[in-house]
Amino acid sequence: MLNHLPPLAPFRPRLIQDIKGYNGEKLAKDMGAGATVGIVALPLAMAFAIASGLKPEAGLWTAIIAGFLISALGGTSVQIGGPAGAFIVIVYGIVERYGVANLLIATASAGVLLFLMGLFRLGTLVRYVPVSVVIGFTNGIAVLIALSQVRDWLGLDIARMPGDFFGQIATLTQHVHSVNPYAFSLGVLCVIGLFLWPRLWAVDSQFRRQLDRIETVSALRATSRLPAPVVALVTLSLGSWALSLPVETIGSRFGGIPQSVPAFELPAFSWETVRLLVTPTLTLALLGAIESLLCARVADQLSNTRKHDPNQELMAQGIANVVVPFFGGMPATGTIARTVTNIRSGAVSPVAGMVHAATLAAVVLIAAPLAQHIPLAVLAGVLLFVAWNMGEWREFGRLKHFSNHYRLMMVSTFLVTIVFDLTVAVELGLVMACFLFVRRQSDIFRADVLARHPHQLTYRLYGSLFFGAVAKIDPIVADVEGGPAGVNLMLDATQLISLDTTGLDALEQLHKAVQKRGGHMGIVGLNAQPRSLIERSGFHQRLHTCQ
């Protein structure tokens, strides 16, 4: 019996394949790309952690440790791993309800599930999640991320935000009178800067054309290579510090960032706790799998590297998520924005992702004291921009071009994600997808009359006769029972694609109805799958004709 089980997925990190034929030219490209992504990851890692209700160093060391492990052990050549915006809402809810210690246990447990998913070759199952469901919960998460940043963006005097949507709305409304104009100004400048910076340096921009006419601006042109979040972070933090603006900073809220490697520490573990965290664990594992494999597919489309190995990628994600909680980290997955930056910066192998982690570690260990001056309003502005880019808002305008089934799944998943919970939204989306698929397939099946004689009825079956379509056999039964005695029935199955056991039972009931009237029933033109089921059940022996 065990010999018929599919083999386990081999553990073959893409790094082993890509390192063959590796040379100095490829190393130079990976070093440049890794350094660039490391700088980009700095503000995002801190912002994701703070928005999740954690200290900024949790996000930084997750980006460093998980980023290194995912690149070194993963199944893609250019994907960058680390904390992701999609996790913010989930992590904040877990911290709010269960505490940070239980978040670490849930993250490690989710890592075990991710590894097992890859080991048992379940990586391809994620592709069965309908795109309407993915777009729905992605847009919903983007709205919740934006909502969670309103407090720091406006500088509101709120000690702690609740985890639910309506609670956040009510809390923000109650404290809207405490807006800090300095924090709001920094946040607005950050968003405007993030929007304008890449457009300012675009090849066809008027600003760039004017600079091209001047020969003494090479140093100024060099700044065009700096990522917009880094420029906003540095300039606005310096401005806030120089002007001594009365705004909340990383230092005032968290006391700064430790300039050292976090100590290895085992979280308190018990099976009772694990049982309590089943739902959060499943949510983290499912979301991590979906995000990482969607990111890997984007990387495949944008780069010239080998196609990703989904099972190896899940195993690497699992290992990373098992390890980071022991260093106080948060959940990690593939990140689309940093992966795209990595590709556009010239990365050719997983070495770039490992360099990204090393660059980030060097910055943290050397320049950690400077982070205490970063205003939280600036980080909120960065996340608002991330949320805007994360959402696929144009899909709402395109809904009129799609079916009602697509609209229903997308809008329902979007609203349930915002109002209730991502887990509920995905579950609802998948259930609705299954229900609507069954309904659509049942609509496809039909039974048409080919000939009607006093003692002979001939029908042709089209599509799939399964549990959702068996009701369409009832008119044939009624036709037989209402006809003369001794009526024979012939079914033409040349267009019958598939048959399940419920459909087989319907055919057997139809056969009994024909026998009661003293007639015979036959089936001709059977395709491979229906024929196999009919023969295995022994039903073919009871039929007058079966071919």
Q: Which residues contact 51 (CB under 8 A, 6 or more apart)?
A: 88, 92, 145, 148, 149, 383
Helix axes 278-302, 336-344, angle to 10 degrees: 20
Identify the pLDDT of residue 220.
59
DSSP code for 74: S
pLDDT of the chain along its 547 residues, tens only?
445 556 888 999 999 999 988 898 889 989 988 988 888 888 889 989 998 999 999 999 999 999 999 999 999 999 999 998 888 888 988 898 888 889 999 999 999 999 999 999 988 877 777 888 888 888 888 898 889 889 999 999 887 888 778 888 999 999 999 999 999 999 999 999 989 888 877 666 676 666 666 655 555 566 666 778 888 888 999 999 999 999 999 988 888 788 888 888 877 767 777 778 888 898 899 889 988 988 888 888 888 888 999 999 999 999 999 999 999 999 999 988 889 888 988 899 999 999 999 999 998 998 888 888 899 999 999 889 888 888 889 888 888 888 888 888 889 989 988 888 777 777 788 788 888 888 888 888 999 999 888 788 999 999 999 988 999 999 999 988 888 888 899 999 999 999 999 999 999 999 999 999 899 999 999 999 999 999 999 988 888 777 7
DSSP 470: G
Relative to beta strand 446-453, strand 456-465 is antiparallel
Given a contact cutoff of 8 angstroms between Cβ atoms, the answer to whether 187 and 380 are in contact is yes
Contact residues for 415 (Cβ-Cβ < 8 A; gap 6+): 140
Dihedral sign (CA 388, 389, 395, 397): positive
Contact assessment for residue 137 and residue 329, using Cβ atoms and an 8 Å cutoff = no
Largest CA distance in the chain: 102
Burial per residue of 281-317, b for 16 or more beta-carbon CB atoms within 10 angstroms, e otherwise: bbbbbbbbbbbbbbbbbbbbeebebeebbbbbbbbbb
Is the domain covering 445-546 a CATH 3.30.750.24 domain?
yes
CA distance 310 to 287: 15
The answer to whether residues 108 and 300 touch, using CB atoms and an 8 Å cutoff, is: no
Place of tokens 């068996």: 470
Confidence (pLDDT) at 218? 55
Task: Evaluate whether 209 touches 18 at the Cβ level (below 8 Å).
Answer: no
> Which residue, among 261, 176, 230, has the nearest Cα to 45 in the 3D structure?
230
pLDDT, residue 205, reads 67
346-393 pLDDT, tens digit each: 899 999 999 999 999 998 998 888 888 899 999 999 889 888 888 889
Query: 241 phi and psi, to 5 degrees?
Result: -70, -40
Q: Could you count the other beta carbons within 10 Å of the beta carbon of residue 431?
A: 11
